Amino acid sequence: MYLIREMQISDIPEVLEIEEDSFSSPWTEAAFVNELLNPCAYYYVWEENKRVIGYAGFWKILEDINITNIAFKSEQRGKGKGSALLLFVMDAARKLGAEAVTLEVRESNAAAIAVYHKNGFYSAGIRKDYYTKPTENALIMWAKVKKEESHEDGTKSN
């Protein structure tokens, strides 16, 4: 059984473990505290058995959502959880009235790129030398947010 919920300051130690395991230039505790205090930022954790095993964050900027982070503990990868959390973020974007979602991903991160393509993202450009440790280009990706449609019978669909 799992729960996706808003990230709390008390979650940061577990999130930092995931961050350090996932990224060559991990964010600091102070960076996450600042994000949780930012009124434009939204952060969620994926919890199983009272343990944080993944998280995602994004900024709402005008009509767009910019995904800042999405990561899981290494032993949780490849199980479809990244796609599920991405779909949660896309639904949150829709509820916030966003029209599109964007993100940057390392050009070499084939697994993440495949997940994004599978979930409707398309490549829109390159940010040269965006990443460090090692220096690498970022692939800029975008997806349109599906609008909820109301049907005559009162049901809704995306």
Active site amino acids? 104, 116
Find all residues with CB under 8 Å of 53, minimum gap 6, and list them.
Answer: 18, 46, 47, 72, 73, 76, 81
The β-bridge partners of 60 are 65
Find all residues with CB under 8 Å of 72, minimum gap 6, and list them.
Answer: 18, 22, 46, 53, 54, 81, 82, 85
Number of helices (H), then strands (E), belonging to the chain: the values are: 4, 9
Cα separations in angstroms, 76 against 4, 18, 53, 130? 15, 11, 7, 27
